[in-house]
């Protein structure tokens, strides 16, 4: 075991020696990243330039798509460099910068999904009060809080991890993770574990409870509502529920992989699943919302075809 020291760089040991196949992987990852950027930018532009989409639901969606760009940009350029490199090392400051980007992305994502659940709850359960409840000021405040809280919380998380004296510098992953670094520490990590638990409860458990509560109430309304209202509720909530389930699956596997040794999982599958929440969510959401929600789909067609907008958005459609 190494003596306790301040590590200057980390070695990412999860990369496989695949020879010339690394160029094929580079092309695949590059294509995925370009697709993520193009699809999310397209939907951000569609929402921004169409006044008919300047409604709370679409503002929250725009925030979601911006976060997809932010999170994927914190990972994919790094992956592309590492795939072509023969020595998979990363300087400590860059490693902590990536941790900041990845962790804030994940926290913003779940908080954004929780805020969107609240928006659907108000729209479906209290449709007559929707416009007075979801004011411009309240929507702006929710979006700001969705972004500010994760940034502040992760700064504290990293400030607790960065000064740790480490007994090694090998991370068994393809990107930097906070807990992977904390596990290398030779010093007391009780404060890190306590703060990590508190952060997990506030940023993951609480939003999931809010999401569960809102959808229980939405289901109660749907069971007693007219068939037309039920169809509208199902149409507007299906993409959101699918996005929540997709992201939750990726996060659950990421947490399990960080906390436990999954030695029975094949290395390549382990890598793919570890990247799932950072890859499939930014790919999945634009396709899901762009194709499923008719208002966005029609606005996108008009934008691409150069037609003028004549459509007004509804509280939920």
pTM, rounded to two decimals: 0.86
Higher pLDDT, 125 or 297: 125
How far is Cα 51 from Cα 59, in angstroms, rounded to an integer?
11
May I ask the CATH class of domain 9-305?
mainly alpha
Classify residue 17 by burial, with Cβ atoms within 10 Å: 0-12, 13-18, 19+. Answer: exposed
- CB of 196 closer than 8 Å to CB of 156: no
Mean pLDDT of 260-286: 76
Please tell me the least confidently modeled range out of 64-78, 143-157, 245-259: 245-259
Residue ranges per domain, the chain? 9-305
Q: Is the pLDDT of residue 315 over 60?
A: no
Model confidence pLDDT, tens digit, residues 3-12: 555 678 899 8
For position 312, what pLDDT does the model report?
Answer: 42
According to DSSP, the β-strands at 170-171 and 89-91 are: unpaired
Q: What is the pLDDT of residues 17-74, one digit of tens each?
A: 777 888 898 999 999 999 999 989 988 988 888 887 888 988 999 999 999 999 999 9
Give the single-character DSSP code of 308.
Answer: P
Q: How many angstroms separate the CA atoms of 139 and 28, rounded?
A: 38
What span, in angstroms and rounded, lies between the C-alpha atoms of 214 and 235? 16
Average of per-residue pLDDT values in the chain: 83
Does 85 score more than 90 pLDDT? no
Please give the DSSP secondary-structure letter assigned to residue 51: G
């Amino acid at each position: 075991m190494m003596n306790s020291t301040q590590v200057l760089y980390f070695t990412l040991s999860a990369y496989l020696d695949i020879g010339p196949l690394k160029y094929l992987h580079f092309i695949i990852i590059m294509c995925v990243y370009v697709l993520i950027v193009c699809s999310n930018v397209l939907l951000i532009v569609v929402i921004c330039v169409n006044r008919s989409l300047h409604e709370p639901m679409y503002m929250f969606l725009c925030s979601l798509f911006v976060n997809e760009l932010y999170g994927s940009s914190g990972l994919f350029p790094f992956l592309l460099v590492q795939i072509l490199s023969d020595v998979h090392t990363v300087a400590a400051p860059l490693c902590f910068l990536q941790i900041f980007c990845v962790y804030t992305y994940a926290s913003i994502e779940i908080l954004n999904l929780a805020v969107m659940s609240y928006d659907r709850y108000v729209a479906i359960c209290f449709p007559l009060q929707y416009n007075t409840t979801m004011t411009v000021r309240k929507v702006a405040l929710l979006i700001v809080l969705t972004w500010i809280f994760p940034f502040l919380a992760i700064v504290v998380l990293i400030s607790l991890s960065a000064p740790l004296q480490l007994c090694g510098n090998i991370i068994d992953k393809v990107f930097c993770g906070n807990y992977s670094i904390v596990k290398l520490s030779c010093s007391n990590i009780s404060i890190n574990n306590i703060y990590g638990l508190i952060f997990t409860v506030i940023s993951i458990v609480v939003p999931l409870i809010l999401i569960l509560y809102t959808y229980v109430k939405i289901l109660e309304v749907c069971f007693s509502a007219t068939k037309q209202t039920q169809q509208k509720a199902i149409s507007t909530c299906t993409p959101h529920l699918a996005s929540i389930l997709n992201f939750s699956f990726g996060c659950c596997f990421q947490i399990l992989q960080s906390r436990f040794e999954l030695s029975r999982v094949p290395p390549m599958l382990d890598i793919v699943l570890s990247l799932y929440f950072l890859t499939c969510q930014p790919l999945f959401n634009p396709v899901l919302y762009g194709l499923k929600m008719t208002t966005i789909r029609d606005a996108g067609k008009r934008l691409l075809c150069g037609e003028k907008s004549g459509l007004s958005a509804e509280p939920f459609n």
